[in-house]
Amino acid sequence: MRYTAAFFAIFLLVGLATALAQNPFDGTWRTNMDESKYPQDPFVISLDKGFYECFTCTPSFRVKADGKDQPVRSETIDTISVREIDAHTVAFVTHKNGKLVSEYTRTVSADGNSIVNQTTEHPQTGAQVVTRTITSRRVKPGPVGSHAISGSWQEAKYTASENDLLVTFKASGNQFSMSSPTGVSFTAQFDGKDYPLTGSYYVNSVSLNRTEERTIHVAYKRDGKTAGTSKLTVSTDGRKLTEVWTDSKTGRTVTEVSDKQ
């Protein structure tokens, strides 16, 4: 009996170790901004003769810059207001279905070579707001006589509030869950079927496939159509999570590296 009990105890320990090894995603992860890589394609905007235009938005749009809500065609917003504050700063407010989505200002430096985008985003779930600061450098000037924000800009530095950097994963058998402090969450099976995602203006469902122990493929969808794909991979030591996100419309890729907390 003693040997049987000892063997059973060892069996339980081995089984527990195996179960833990099969769930390397479990836990909370924090984005490491220094190790992450974001698209270097310049964004092109213009404020000229009373109109604001975003040439590289998807889709592109042109609206009056009169401080009033203007309709736009977009999956994430349906109105935007643009208001010139001064010769270097412009304020923006966006809504979706009458609900406030974001408020942000773009401010150009005195020498005109850099622009700072300070954003406050209001999560769909009513969770605590997200703040972001993006500093970009000028690549090309805008039209002669246009506002200082006009031109081509390339992102150089990106910072965000803590609640935007954290995500928690939980794997249990064939089920995988994600949740974040901003209210975005889902629970899905590794069967390629669509499951609801809540808390996002951009997507509303996901489908999952697990090809390897440390790799998961996620398709993020909006009304059944794929908006983007993501490949999640945990390092062999279990301390790093690399996510490669590809936007289905633009083909742009973001690589985010997160540290286990």
What would the pLDDT profile of 108-133 be if each residue is shown by its tens digit? Answer: 999 999 999 999 999 988 888 999 99
Note whether 63 and 151 are same-domain residues.
yes
Residue 9 included in any domain: no
Residue 118 included in any domain: yes
Residue 95 included in any domain: yes
Last residue of a domain, one of 143, 162, 181: 162
Note whether 149 and 189 are same-domain residues.
no
Residue 8 included in any domain: no
Residue 190 included in any domain: yes
Last residue of a domain, one of 119, 143, 162: 162
Note whether 56 and 139 are same-domain residues.
yes
Note whether 126 and 169 are same-domain residues.
no
Note whether 61 and 142 are same-domain residues.
yes
Q: In the chain, what percentage of residues exceed pLDDT 70?
A: 92
Note whether 52 and 96 are same-domain residues.
yes
Residue 1 included in any domain: no
The CA–CA distances, whole Å, from 65 to 68, 79, 261 equal 8, 12, 44
- The total number of structural domains in the chain stands at 2
At residue 12, does pLDDT exceed 80?
no
Range of the domain at 75: 43-162
Q: What is the mean pLDDT of the chain?
A: 91
Note whether 175 and 96 are same-domain residues.
no
Note whether 153 and 168 are same-domain residues.
no
Query: Cβ(188)–Cβ(175) under 8 Å?
Result: yes
Max distance between CA atoms of the chain, in angstroms, equals 91
Note whether 223 and 146 are same-domain residues.
no
Note whether 134 and 171 are same-domain residues.
no
CB within 8 A of 132, min separation 6: which ones? 117, 118, 119, 121, 158, 159, 160, 161, 164
Note whether 170 and 67 are same-domain residues.
no
CA 237 – CA 234 distance, rounded (Å): 8
Query: Cβ(157)–Cβ(134) under 8 Å?
Result: yes
Last residue of a domain, one of 162, 186, 215: 162
Q: Which residue has the higher pLDDT, 252 or 9?
A: 252
Task: Give the number of other Cβ atoms within 10 Å of residue 132's Cβ.
Answer: 16
Given pLDDT bands bounded at 50, 70 and 90, which one contains residue 249?
Answer: confident
Q: Where do we find the tokens 């402090």?
A: 181
Residue 54 included in any domain: yes
Q: Cis before residue 59, ω within 30 degrees of 0?
A: yes
CA 120 – CA 109 distance, rounded (Å): 20
CATH of the domain at 195: 2.40.128.20
Given pLDDT bands bounded at 50, 70 and 90, which one contains residue 22?
Answer: low
Name the strands in the sheet holding 79-84, side by side, starting at the edge strand that comes first in the sequence: 61-64, 51-54, 43-48, 151-160, 130-141, 114-121, 99-108, 89-96, 79-84, 70-71
Residue 3 included in any domain: no
CA 239 – CA 171 distance, rounded (Å): 16
pLDDT tens-digit series, residues 136-182: 999 999 999 999 999 999 999 999 999 999 999 999 889 999 999 99
Per-residue pLDDT at 20: 42
Given pLDDT bands bounded at 50, 70 and 90, which one contains residue 9?
Answer: very low
Given pLDDT bands bounded at 50, 70 and 90, which one contains residue 188?
Answer: very high
DSSP state of 31: E
Cα of 250 vs its chain's centroid, Å: 15
Given pLDDT bands bounded at 50, 70 and 90, which one contains residue 5?
Answer: very low
Token pair in block for residue 171: 């794997």
Give phi and psi for 43, each to the nearest 5: -100, 145
Per-residue pLDDT at 38: 87
Note whether 31 and 111 are same-domain residues.
no
Range in 5-9, 55-59, 83-87, 236-240 the model is least confident about: 5-9
CB within 8 A of 108, min separation 6: which ones? 88, 89, 114, 115, 148, 149
pLDDT tens-digit series, residues 32-51: 999 999 888 999 999 999 99
